[in-house]
Structure 1
Amino acid sequence: MKRMIKDWLKSASIGLAISLTTTGLARAETLAETLVSAYENSGLLDQNRALLRAADEDAAQILAALRPIINYSADFTRSFGRSAAGVFTGTTSSNTVNIGLSLQLLLFDAGQTRFQLEAAKESVLATREALRSVEQQVLLRAVAAFQDVRRNQEFVALRDNNLRLLRQELRAAQDRFEVGEVTRTDVAQAEARLAAARSEFAAAEGDLTQAIEEFRAAVGRLPGNLQPPRNLPNLSGDIDESAQIAVRAHPDILQARHEVSAAELNVLAADAETKPDVSLFGNLGASEDISDNDFSRTGSFGVQVTGPIYQGGLISSLKRQAMAQRDATRGNLHEVRRRIVQDVGDAYAILRAAQAQRRSSREQVRAADVAFRGVREEATLGARTTLDVLDAEQELLDARANMIAAEADVVVAAYSVLASLGQLTAKDLNLDVQLYDPAAYYNLVKDAPVPISPQGQKLDRVLRALGKD
């Protein structure tokens, strides 16, 4: 029963959305407002922001290895025993408390930790670019969902208007049949065309329902009364110049470059693994026997040098692995560059094809409208059959549908060009949102603050705020 109610409510909400968006009663909504909602409601962006914060912590954890490491230890020991010597027997027992402090500070490791830290910073920068790439995907999906809803709304309205016209044509054919101007065949043709139009109208409503569901998934809410975009992105139209811009600034290629830098630093860190490490160490200890008040106090400090002699080939394998990973990232950089150049060319080609299709569709609509009016007028004079009128009307309907689809395709193609350039972000589009600062969390954790420090307390407040979200 609950399932039935849930399904009914879902159907009712979708039906209400279709009714509002097709009748113009919903609040007017621009494409920019849709993109704002997509940016603010995206779970995918939240996921990748969290991944960026995790990468920030990698750098903080490596930095911690360069600082003094202080540990404590404490134990309470109860010892007891029984012994015998000839006719003499005895028992022993003691209660001992031990407390100790140890300190260790890395003085020299041939730069291994420093290389690892710089590699972690490069990984942070790469993850920031990955987040920017995801942002482009979220916004482009919202653009496509916006245009898909608008396109299907217009299809529904077009099919509905076609139904009304076909009903009129059927009544006219029936009237002419009754006075003997046409045959029963003409009436049947009109009835068949009306039945097909009803089917097409139902299919259009189904497509609109699916488009609304995609809009809700992409944007995080139901659409309002979507308004056609007034202006398209300002594009230069020069493919070579655009490709150069993309190669310099697209988030995917910047991510690949940072990954190459991180891999090269990891090779240096792996090579430093073969060098000796120098550390400062110190220990303080106190021991006291509670039973008889015996105690001892100890302390020591010194410098320790350690280095590998033989580890079964592990270190050499790790270095070769790091070199292979470096080579892989270099190869990926070349592939990403080629893909970006290709994406720019493809995006412009699709845009130009869509613009040409739009021009042709407008001309087709104009010509089909003139032809339909002429055929209908000739039919009233007996020079055309009912089938001629129906065919002319179908051609006009198809032309209008093609124009609606072409208009939507041009908008999506234009924003796809922006995405291929790496310029489809909230900042580039100047959206009215609170922009996410990818460096804010890193600046809080880069010095690896402890909870009791002012920086650590500020970080705790940020984490509590994130938890509430």
Structure 2
Amino acid sequence: MQDNYKKRRMKKIGIIYFLLATISYGAQSTSLMEVYQLATVNDPLIKEALANKEAIIESRPQARSLILPQLSSSATFSDSDVNGQSTFQQKFVNPITGDESVLTSNTDFIQESETLQWDISLRQSIFDYGIWMNLRKANKTVAQAEVDYLAAEQNLMIRVASGYFNILAAEDTLEAEQAARQSIEKQLDQAQKRFEVGLIAITDVQEARAAYDQSIANEIIAKRSLATAKESLRSITDSYPGKLKKPDNNLPLIMPNPQRENDWVDTSLGQNLSLMSAEVGVEIARSEIKIQRSGHLPTIGLQAARRETDTDSFRSDSGGSLSPADSENISDGIGIQMTLPLYSGGQVRSRVKQAVARHRASKEKLERVARETTKVARDSYLGVISGIATVKALQQSVMSSATALQATEAGYEVGTRTTVDVLDARRRLFSAQKNLAISKYDYILNILKLKQAAGTLKVEDLEQINTWLM
């Protein structure tokens, strides 16, 4: 009677699993490329990288502007009323005695004036080593910004793929933990019944209880990990993902091409974008040294100016009537100016030493990035190689677990196995499937990371991987 009840219960469980699988299969799934397209529009980091690139690009015309002529003009209008006193001195010589005398007279005056003055000036650098080096530095800075943006685009692909497959891994882990909890719950129920009839000691029940409590904790942790993975992807796409497509059973296991590890390392050292950016950074720091050393050199420039002043004025002396006192002045000038720095309190020398130290720091950064690039290239290459072997081994493990489950279910049908045995076998199958799925995700991510290290990662690589999902 009890065996028939167990059989009916197992049949109901199987129907439920079938319905859930049918519903999941019918639901619309989101592909990797759809998530990536959302990320390209909504990710703050890629937007920040684009804005930084656009800002740095403007440094080139700013540096070039210092070489071009500088033309400026100004105009001034003033209206003034002046009340004052003029003092005049006249010298007289007595024709008889020859004595000199001075006659001083004071005259009051009123003057009203309107003055319009305008200036135009032209400055053209003839020789300034610093501004030419600054232009070279600006060109290198723009090149570095473009490389950094390409690196940000590659980094976005990696972040999207990592977030995508982290969610799938978290979902697989949660399913495995739920299957484990169900199996352990049945084991606990069976242990309690056997204890009640005196077949086992209380310690066996306590061990089963401890295992069940641990399974609940593991399931809670798995749910939290899934929520965290979804939140991480949402921070990139600004939306929570729905059901995601998974790699199908016919996932191609492709060996890296070229197949030699050192070939990938050599390619990475020549094309890795982060390494290229660091190399340009060394050149920028070298240009900065030249710019600061130019503080010791003379500068030569051409200067030309024109000024015109037009004054409309009326003046009255000693209370008389107002009479015109207009004036107009025009002045033109052109010349060459040479400036030679003699002493600036040690500022130029200090700036040169500072630039030299930063150049040394940039070279150390280049060495660090080169070593990191080599490490990532080797690690990713080995990850792809070992990933292929791991996927093949776990595929065999899933087949073995599935065969074991079938044997256990057959034993349950004839009464030689219990429900706990069936659930435990199913838990092992879920665990093997989870490990297989995670190994596939790791294999795919290592492919992308290897191409990123080599500087060859493109959107087409994501599109290819997207064809492997269903």
Question: Which bracket does the TM-score occupy, shorter chain normalised?
Answer: 0.7 to 0.9
Larger C-alpha radius of gyration, 1 or 2? 2
Whether 1:92 and 2:111 are equivalent positions in the alignment is yes
* 1:386 CA displacement: 6.6
Whether the 8 Å contact between 2:412 and 2:418 is mirrored in structure 1 is yes
Distance in 2 separating the partners of 1:410 and 1:89: 101
Distance in 2 separating the partners of 1:387 and 1:328: 64
Report the equivalent of 1:289: 311
* 1:242 CA displacement: 0.3
Q: 1:299 aligns with which of 313, 317, 332?
A: 332
Report the equivalent of 2:344: 311
1:245–1:107 CA distance, 2 compared to 1 (3 A): same
* 1:400 CA displacement: 2.9
Whether 1:103 and 2:122 are equivalent positions in the alignment is yes
Question: Residue type matched to 2:234 in 1?
Answer: R
Question: Residue type matched to 2:455 in 1?
Answer: G
> For structure 1, which segment, 119-128 or 380-389, has the greater mean C-alpha deviation from structure 2 after superposition?
380-389
Whether 1:39 and 2:32 are equivalent positions in the alignment is no
Question: Residue type matched to 2:295 in 1?
Answer: E
> Which digits, 9 at most, give the CA deviation of each residue in 1:242-265, with x for residues without a partner?
011011111011111211222222
Report the equivalent of 1:69: 70
> For structure 1, which segment, 339-348 or 99-108, has the greater mean C-alpha deviation from structure 2 after superposition?
339-348
Report the equivalent of 1:438: none
Report the equivalent of 1:457: none
Report the equivalent of 2:382: 349
> Which digits, 9 at most, give the CA deviation of each residue in 1:419-450, with x for residues without a partner?
2222223366579xxxxxxxxxxxxxxxxxxx
Distance in 2 separating the partners of 1:21 and 1:50: 46
* 1:81 CA displacement: 3.5
1:264–1:362 CA distance, 2 compared to 1 (3 A): same
Whether the 8 Å contact between 1:22 and 1:157 is mirrored in structure 2 is no
SS at match of 1:82: strand
Aligned sequence identity (%): 21
Q: 2:373 aligns with which of 323, 340, 343?
A: 340
Question: Residue type matched to 1:249 in 2?
Answer: Q
Aligned ranges for residues 428-443 of structure 1 at < 5 Å?
Answer: none
Whether the 8 Å contact between 2:125 and 2:302 is mirrored in structure 1 is yes
Distance in 2 separating the partners of 1:187 and 1:217: 45
Q: 1:130 aligns with which of 140, 145, 148?
A: 148
Report the equivalent of 1:57: 58
Whether the 8 Å contact between 1:98 and 1:287 is mirrored in structure 2 is yes
Whether 1:256 and 2:278 are equivalent positions in the alignment is yes
Whether the 8 Å contact between 1:263 and 1:322 is mirrored in structure 2 is yes
* 1:405 CA displacement: 2.2
Report the equivalent of 2:392: 359
Q: 1:140 aligns with which of 151, 158, 161?
A: 158
Report the equivalent of 2:15: none
Distance in 1 separating the partners of 2:350 and 2:106: 67
Q: 2:232 aligns with which of 199, 210, 214?
A: 214
Distance in 1 separating the partners of 2:263 and 2:226: 39
1:56–1:365 CA distance, 2 compared to 1 (3 A): same
SS at match of 2:336: strand
Question: Residue type matched to 1:94 in 2?
Answer: S
Question: Residue type matched to 1:345 in 2?
Answer: R
Whether the 8 Å contact between 2:33 and 2:463 is mirrored in structure 1 is no
Structure 2 length-normalised TM? 0.74
Report the equivalent of 1:243: 265
Whether 1:23 and 2:24 are equivalent positions in the alignment is yes
Whether the 8 Å contact between 2:305 and 2:334 is mirrored in structure 1 is yes
Distance in 2 separating the partners of 1:348 and 1:79: 84
Question: Residue type matched to 1:45 in 2?
Answer: I
* 1:30 CA displacement: 2.6
1:335–1:218 CA distance, 2 compared to 1 (3 A): same
* 1:392 CA displacement: 4.3
Question: Residue type matched to 1:55 in 2?
Answer: I
Alignment RMSD: 3.9
* 1:298 CA displacement: 1.2
* 1:122 CA displacement: 0.7
* 1:69 CA displacement: 0.4
Report the equivalent of 1:403: 436
Whether the 8 Å contact between 1:39 and 1:139 is mirrored in structure 2 is no
* 1:57 CA displacement: 1.0
* 1:383 CA displacement: 5.5
Distance in 2 separating the partners of 1:427 and 1:76: 66
* 1:415 CA displacement: 1.6
Whether the 8 Å contact between 1:24 and 1:225 is mirrored in structure 2 is no
Count of residues paired in the alignment: 412
1:170–1:423 CA distance, 2 compared to 1 (3 A): same
* 1:144 CA displacement: 1.0
1:131–1:234 CA distance, 2 compared to 1 (3 A): farther
Whether the 8 Å contact between 2:255 and 2:385 is mirrored in structure 1 is no
Distance in 1 separating the partners of 2:460 and 2:140: 23
Whether the 8 Å contact between 2:43 and 2:235 is mirrored in structure 1 is no
Distance in 1 separating the partners of 2:326 and 2:168: 88
Whether the 8 Å contact between 2:380 and 2:446 is mirrored in structure 1 is yes
Question: Residue type matched to 1:418 in 2?
Answer: K
Report the equivalent of 2:319: none
Unaligned runs of 5+ residues in structure 1 are 1-18, 432-469
1:398–1:102 CA distance, 2 compared to 1 (3 A): same
Question: Residue type matched to 1:218 in 2?
Answer: I
> Which digits, 9 at most, give the CA deviation of each residue in 1:143-186, with x for residues without a partner?
01111222233344555666777889899x69x98xx9x99999
Distance in 1 separating the partners of 2:178 and 2:364: 55
> Which digits, 9 at most, give the CA deviation of each residue in 1:211-261, with x for residues without a partner?
222222223433244223455777224210001101111101111121122
Distance in 2 separating the partners of 1:357 and 1:416: 18
Whether the 8 Å contact between 1:263 and 1:326 is mirrored in structure 2 is yes
1:21–1:316 CA distance, 2 compared to 1 (3 A): farther
Whether the 8 Å contact between 2:179 and 2:430 is mirrored in structure 1 is no
Distance in 2 separating the partners of 1:244 and 1:348: 13
Unaligned runs of 5+ residues in structure 2 are 1-19, 88-104, 314-324, 465-470
Report the equivalent of 2:95: none
> Which digits, 9 at most, give the CA deviation of each residue in 1:258-298, with x for residues without a partner?
11222222323333332221111111111111224321111
Question: Residue type matched to 1:58 in 2?
Answer: S
SS at match of 1:266: helix
Question: Residue type matched to 2:56 in 1?
Answer: A
1:201–1:317 CA distance, 2 compared to 1 (3 A): closer
* 1:100 CA displacement: 0.6
* 1:188 CA displacement: 10
Distance in 2 separating the partners of 1:40 and 1:255: 25
